Amino acid sequence: MDLGLKNKIAIIAGSSEGMGRATAEAFAAAGANVAICARTEKKLNATAEEIRKAHSVEVFAQAVDVTDFVAVESFVGAVAKKFGQIDICVANAGGPPPKNFLSISMDEWHKAVDLSFLSVVAFARA
């Protein structure tokens, strides 16, 4: 099925593993070139190489902590410079720790909000 994604440019954050990686793989399988970021550079670069080989698309990878607004802005700028456009942005990030709801401390909730919500704000502002 043609999803109209061939040669589109998609940014996917938190994409070295899990849902972010699956999302990057799906965009690449549909023919989109992808820009991926995550905190762990080694794992991110391995993911980028696997996506390149499996789908024959361009993959731009850069280690980024999505809670760092300056780093997100720099990443988005680098993607725009490399590809000349950005068509899609998936601001994926982790959430609270996998615990029972009542076991999660307020500090952990604050960190989860910073990661999940404020990272989306950072991408939107970039």
Query: How high is the pLDDT of residue 125?
Result: 87
Instruction: Read off the pLDDT band of 117 (50, 70, 90).
Output: confident
Average pLDDT, the chain: 93
pTM of the complete model? 0.88
**Under 8 Å CB-to-CB from 78, ≥6 apart: which residues?**
60, 62
pLDDT in tens, 57-109: 999 999 999 989 999 999 999 999 999 999 999 999 877 788 999 999 999 98
For domain 9-125, the CATH architecture is 3-Layer(aba) Sandwich (3.40)
* Cross-strand pairs, 122: none
Instruction: Read off the pLDDT band of 115 (50, 70, 90).
Output: confident
Answer yes or no: is pLDDT of 38 > 80: yes
